[in-house]
Structure 1
Amino acid sequence: MLKKTLAALALGSALLTAGQAMAADYVIDKQGQHAFVNFKISHLGYSWLYGTFKDFDGTFSFDEKNPEASKVKVNINTESVDTNHAERDKHLRSGDFLNVSKHPTATFESTAVKSTGTGTADITGNLTLNGVTKPVVIKAKLVGQGDDPWGGYRAGFEGSTTLKLKDFDIQKDLGPASQEVELILSVEGVRQ
């Protein structure tokens, strides 16, 4: 009887420990500005125009042993677009591009995560931009994880995806070299 009780306690302890190894929840470190949603688009085929969204937040869950259980959700204030040129930013906020008066928020919510190798994954999800929701795939890579100097635990990722402007009802024609924009993401999350 004692052996059965000890075995049951050991099994219960093992199940509890296994449950603790499940996905951990993180909040993207917006306060410390350790996260970026950047983009680049060709300017006439001669150079690259870079920009960023300065105001966004989000969460993710990450399970290193089972990456497919991971999830991501991000909200972007589209009015926060910044290309280091005030007149261009005003134009990007207009109905020609982001239409921020009607669509002040862009969102991404993952629907599936598929491991593609050690520390890499394809994150499929729904991106809503300019009032249009389309599935996109973000090629993601784990940059690193571990303890921080303030007693917390962090994990950081980078990723990218390419969007066709017309897919998101951005009809302004910028010429043949400027039909797509690349999103470049770098996020660091603090475990909750």
Structure 2
Amino acid sequence: MKALLLTTAVLASGSVLAADYNVDPAHSAVTFEVGHLGVSTTAGRFNEFEGNFTINDDKKSGSASFTIKADSVDTNHAARDKHLRSPDFLDVKQFPTLTFTSTSFNGEELTGDLTLHGVTKSVTFDVEMIGEGNDPWGGYRAGFEASTTIKRSDFGVSYFIPGVTDETEIEIFVEGIRQ
């Protein structure tokens, strides 16, 4: 019996343990920036998204999955937001969500399939772990920031290029609650 327990302990110590987290939407955000007419940058965000991620104890592997409601786009300008929801840009009636599902994570880069406007492409985010620890409510949290730049034309959204730049910077700020 002691040999079996010792063998189990040795095997367990060599394996990588994982923790699952659900996104806390009150402490998370998906933002974007695009250039406008070569004279300024327009910033926006999506107000509704959900997801989950797994981070292994080694902090160098894991996975993530996010779903963003396209009609929650918000640039602090109602007329522009209405236009962004139209077929010229996000076409939210035909494509109500944007999704991301990871395919690999090495601790610094998260690569996966981004589906935007009905087109799926592989993208890589630079990732920084901000921190982790106990919260005041008895839970455990972990937070990350991730950024990438995509060409919106790669996803079939080419309206008004170059007036609105093709390159779109995306940042994700995620705080998750361990399950």
Check the 8 A contact 2:126/2:146 in 1, yes or no. yes
State how far apart, in whole Å, the 2-side matches of 1:29 and 1:164 are.
Answer: 28
Residue correspondence of structure 1 range 90-101 to structure 2 within 5 A: 90-101=82-93
**Aligned pair in 2 of structure 1 residues 41, 143: CA closer, same or farther (>3 Å)?**
same
The CA deviation at 1:174 is 3.5
Amino acid of the structure 2 residue aligned with 1:171: S
Report the CA distance between 1:7 and its aligned residue.
2.9
Q: Which amino acid aligns with 2:3?
A: A
Give the superposition deviation at 1:161. Answer: 0.6
CA contact (8 A) 1:44 1:174 kept: no
Other structure's SS at 2:2 match: helix
Counterpart-to-counterpart distance in 1, 2:4 and 2:155: 56
Aligned equivalents of 1:52, 1:35: Cα separation in 2: 11
Match for residue 5 of structure 2 among 9, 16, 33: 9
One-letter code of the match for 1:50? A
Q: In the alignment, does 2:118 pair up with 1:131? A: yes
Residue type of the partner of 1:114?
N
Structure 2 gap segments, 5+ residues each = none
How many aligned residue pairs are there? Answer: 179
When the two structures are superposed, what TM-score results if normalisation uses the length of structure 2? 0.94
Instruction: State how 1:46-125 maps to structure 2 within 5 Å.
Output: 46-65=39-58, 67-68=60-61, 70-115=62-107, 121-125=108-112
**Separation in 1, partners of 2:29, 2:51:** 11
Of residues 17, 30, 33, the one that matches 1:37 is 30
The structure with the larger Rg is 1
Give the drift of 1:99. 0.5
User: Post-superposition shift, 1:35?
Assistant: 0.4
Match in the other structure for 2:23? 28
SS of the equivalent of 1:178 reads: coil
Aligned mates of 1:91, 1:164 — CA distance in 2: 19
TM-score (norm 1): 0.88
2-structure distance, mates of 1:99, 1:188: 29
User: Structure 1 residue 14: deviation in Å?
Assistant: 4.0
| Alpha-carbon shift at residue 182 of structure 1 (Å) | 0.3
Percent identity for Structure 1 against Structure 2? 45
1:118 matched to which residue of 2?
none
Give secondary structure in 2 for the equivalent of 1:67.
coil
